[in-house]
Amino acid sequence: MQLDAKIPGGPIAEKWDRHLFELKLVNPANKRKYDVIVVGTGLAGGSASATLAELGYNVKSFCIHDSPRRAHSIAAQGGINAAKNYPNDGDSIWRLFYDTVKGGDFRAREANVYRLAQISNDIIDHCVAQGIPFARDYGGLLANRSFGGAQVSRTFYARGQTGQQLLLGAYSALSRQISDGNVQMFARREMLDLVVIKGQARGIVVRNLINGQIERHDAHAVVLCTGGYGNVFFLSTNAMASNVTAAFRAYKKGACFANPCFTQIHPTCVPVHGTYQSKLTLMSESLRNDGRVWVPKDPGDKRPSRQIVEAERDYFLEEKYPSFGNLVPRDVASRNAKEQCDMGKGVGETGLAVYLDFADAIKRDSKAVIEKKYGNLFQMYEKITGEDPYETPMRIYPAVHYTMGGLWVDYNLMSTIDGLFVMGEANFSDHGANRLGASALMQGLADGYFIIPYTVGGYLAGTEFADVTPDHEAFKETENDAQSRLTRLLAINGKRTVDDFHKELGLIMWDYCGMARNNEGLEKARKLIQQLRAEFWENVTVPGTGQDFNQSLERAGRVADYLEFGELMVLDALARQESCGGHFNEAYQTKGHEARRDDENFCYAAAWEYTGKEAEPQVHKEPLIFENVELSQRSYK
């Protein structure tokens, strides 16, 4: 397989405009002849469905939830980046582009990132026009705050509910199209497989989660917007229903999976507090605008935080990174927090936490100001921990949060299967080895509102399609395969629950393929996952039937995929013998314990191709060529 990223020629700032002109168009009257399936209704899928339908395509939109607006995007708290430069503090499209490439530790494709920075400004205009209640300053201009890895304030926000407000905007646009009859909405459907006919994605097979019916849906193109796979770790900040299933099954049908080992561990989450926990809670990065991170200077110091005076505290991020301070990128902040805890300076009962302290900000700005900025986050923290963060510092620890890896896509966001497009967190496209805060919402909406409407059109206009209906043999086969997998899961009748397997897998992934990795641990993880997978297919218990609402069956299918996908992550981590961004192999670090890249040998995106059940997947390498940003050791000092 030859990966062709289809990057347009010309200077980077002109590539997208040039491409827009070169893409073929579908004339308005012909658009209604095309059906497009969009799987997922988060910010990427919701915006794509609405926009494609607005253009005139027949859209079929699918989601797992009972309502499109329950997609995980609703959880996004802190904000969305754009290069508007409203605060006049030196921002520009170029700076956002540069920060994103550098933040991703030089493992993203320059052309895509530049386009993202360009489009960022259109997103804000679009969302303001929709009525998104972004925070404003006293003069009425949209307010901005800072996120990690940037020295400017470019993050637009709606208190701590930015994702919710943006999703309501996309959902309103989608609802308008549903009521106009241009979008057929299929809620409570889980995509079980992709149907590929003559090399083209022509449909999907889904399970109706309420009555268990398997359904076939055909189209001329399929757009996957199914989110990230952080839940492979069991504990993560992702919504419970986030999964890898749709992407992984597309991988098995020929879509390459890129950089699966690139996982983001977010530094500011409520620490794990028990073995019965199934979810971790994010404390938004925006809090690091005002909160100061510290630990006691002396290892083992267990005094209450307020008894530890200034001279006895180690503000380790401010000390080590004076330029960026508490707002270093997530991978850097997380590793440093872990390092402090490994030295015995962690706080709280488990010693696996550091403080995020607002005392100085409250003294400086007043409690009322801090409450206005972060009130809902403080309330959430207090509800979970029983501690009042206005009085005592928050305790935070890194947790799995986002996955930079995803299905490989070219500049048109098309995968290695013709007609299968992938957007939002489900693709690998824009964030390299580490995503900067507030850039996921930007990417999802750029993909959905501004890129896919053009590139899908370009594909449809330039492609010949055979007549295909759901009676086609390929649909029958795909449905049979999906059905027999469900039947097999229900028939095992073993002794361990699905969650039990998931927890064990999560621990393996966290211990050996988490914040720090080494070759020995990765080799061990691979064997452990293989053993666990074998046991799963012998000993899992899935109660109930397939002809009914059955959440155990849903979860069993997803965990079965994670048990295969986890191994692919480990394989990818093993193959990448360097450290970069969120992929930290302990053998490759600088003297200051930063990730040490090997640009000579690993400056590529690794795209894995499925080659069969018992066969090793094959890696294809897309070289990353940096013509506009100089490759350098990242420094936030």
Ligand X SMILES: Cc1cc2nc3c(=O)[nH]c(=O)nc-3n(C[C@H](O)[C@H](O)[C@H](O)COP(=O)(O)OP(=O)(O)OC[C@H]3O[C@@H](n4cnc5c(N)ncnc54)[C@H](O)[C@@H]3O)c2cc1C
Please tell me whether residue 439 binds ligand X under the rule CB under 6 A.
yes
Closer CB to ligand X, 65 or 597, in the complex: 65
| Among 12, 26, 116, 191, interactor with ligand X by CB under 6 A | 191
Whole-angstrom Cα distance, residue 461 to residue 411?
Answer: 17
| Among 39, 178, 317, 603, interactor with ligand X by CB under 6 A | 39
Please tell me whether residue 438 binds ligand X under the rule CB under 6 A.
yes
Please tell me whether residue 424 binds ligand X under the rule CB under 6 A.
yes
Q: How far is the CB of 456 from ligand X (least distance, A)?
A: 16
| Among 290, 331, 357, 425, interactor with ligand X by CB under 6 A | 425
Whole-angstrom Cα distance, residue 433 to residue 403?
Answer: 9
| Among 61, 118, 245, 415, interactor with ligand X by CB under 6 A | 245
| Among 16, 34, 57, 62, interactor with ligand X by CB under 6 A | 62
| Among 34, 36, 42, 381, interactor with ligand X by CB under 6 A | 42
DSSP class per residue in 81-123: E----TT-SS--HHHHHHHHHHHTTT-S-HHHHHHHHHHHHHH
10 Å CB burial of residue 546 (0-12, 13-18, 19+) is middle
The region of 64-72, 289-297, 332-340, 391-399 touching ligand X under the rule CB under 6 A is 64-72
Closer CB to ligand X, 85 or 237, in the complex: 237
Whole-angstrom Cα distance, residue 449 to residue 261?
Answer: 28
Whole-angstrom Cα distance, residue 172 to residue 178?
Answer: 10
Of 330, 517, 558, 576, which residue is the catalytic one? 330
Please tell me whether residue 254 binds ligand X under the rule CB under 6 A.
no
Please tell me whether residue 225 binds ligand X under the rule CB under 6 A.
yes
Q: How many residues does the chain have?
A: 637
**Amino acid making up residue 574:** L
CA-to-CA separations, 319 to 294, 299, 322, 325, 332, in angstroms, rounded: 10, 17, 6, 7, 14
The edge-to-edge listing of strands for the beta sheet with 394-403 is: 263-269, 394-403, 354-357, 292-296, 313-314
**Amino acid making up residue 122:** D
Nearest partner of 334 among 351, 316, 347, 349, judged by Cα: 316
| Among 63, 168, 255, 607, interactor with ligand X by CB under 6 A | 63
Please tell me whether residue 282 binds ligand X under the rule CB under 6 A.
yes
Please tell me whether residue 243 binds ligand X under the rule CB under 6 A.
yes
| Among 237, 326, 434, 585, interactor with ligand X by CB under 6 A | 237
Please tell me whether residue 43 binds ligand X under the rule CB under 6 A.
yes
Q: How far is the CB of 68 from ligand X (least distance, A)?
A: 6
- What count of other Cβ atoms lies within 10 Å of the Cβ of residue 271? 23
Tokens of 555: 């979860």
Please tell me whether residue 148 binds ligand X under the rule CB under 6 A.
no
Nearest partner of 628 among 3, 207, 115, judged by Cα: 115
Q: How far is the CB of 204 from ligand X (least distance, A)?
A: 8
CA-to-CA separations, 602 to 271, 409, 576, 622, in angstroms, rounded: 34, 19, 7, 10
| Among 60, 72, 154, 217, interactor with ligand X by CB under 6 A | 72
The region of 186-194, 321-329, 391-399, 503-511 touching ligand X under the rule CB under 6 A is 186-194
Across 164-176, b (16+ Cβ under 10 Å) vs e yields bbbbbbbbebbbe
Closer CB to ligand X, 337 or 422, in the complex: 422
Residues numbered 580 to 599 that lie near ligand X (CB under 6 A) are none
The region of 76-84, 250-258, 452-460, 547-555 touching ligand X under the rule CB under 6 A is 76-84
Sign of CA dihedral 93, 223, 171, 208: negative
Closer CB to ligand X, 12 or 36, in the complex: 36
State the Cα torsion 401-553-213-36 to the nearest 10°. Answer: 20
The region of 15-23, 97-105, 315-323, 433-441 touching ligand X under the rule CB under 6 A is 433-441
Closer CB to ligand X, 242 or 579, in the complex: 242
Closer CB to ligand X, 285 or 567, in the complex: 285
How many binding residues for ligand X (CB under 6 A)?
Answer: 46
Q: How far is the CB of 165 from ligand X (least distance, A)?
A: 11
Q: How far is the CB of 230 from ligand X (least distance, A)?
A: 7
Please tell me whether residue 434 binds ligand X under the rule CB under 6 A.
no
Closer CB to ligand X, 475 or 602, in the complex: 475
- Are 245 and 192 in contact by the 8 Å Cβ rule? The answer is yes
Q: How far is the CB of 46 from ligand X (least distance, A)?
A: 7
Please tell me whether residue 49 binds ligand X under the rule CB under 6 A.
no
Pattern 301-330, ligand X, x by CB under 6 A? ------------------------------
Please tell me whether residue 144 binds ligand X under the rule CB under 6 A.
no
Q: Assess whether 330 carries a catalytic annotation.
A: yes
Please tell me whether residue 173 binds ligand X under the rule CB under 6 A.
no
Q: How far is the CB of 243 from ligand X (least distance, A)?
A: 5
Helix 519-539 × helix 473-492 angle, to 10°: 90
DSSP β-bridge partners for residue 155: 81, 145
Please tell me whether residue 40 binds ligand X under the rule CB under 6 A.
yes
Across 515-545, b (16+ Cβ under 10 Å) vs e yields bbbeeebbeebbebbeebbeebeeebbbeee
- Are 13 and 35 in contact by the 8 Å Cβ rule? The answer is no
* 3-state secondary structure at position 186: strand
Residues numbered 361 to 420 that lie near ligand X (CB under 6 A) are 401-402
Closer CB to ligand X, 554 or 572, in the complex: 554
Whole-angstrom Cα distance, residue 453 to residue 457?
Answer: 6
Q: How far is the CB of 5 from ligand X (least distance, A)?
A: 21
**Amino acid making up residue 323:** S
State the Cα torsion 592-595-599-603 to the nearest 10°. Answer: -170
Residues numbered 501 to 530 that lie near ligand X (CB under 6 A) are none
Q: How far is the CB of 440 from ligand X (least distance, A)?
A: 3
Q: Which residues bind ligand X (CB under 6 A)?
A: 39-45, 62-65, 71-73, 75-80, 162-163, 189-191, 225-228, 237-238, 242-243, 245-246, 282, 401-402, 424-426, 438-441, 444
Active-site positions? 330
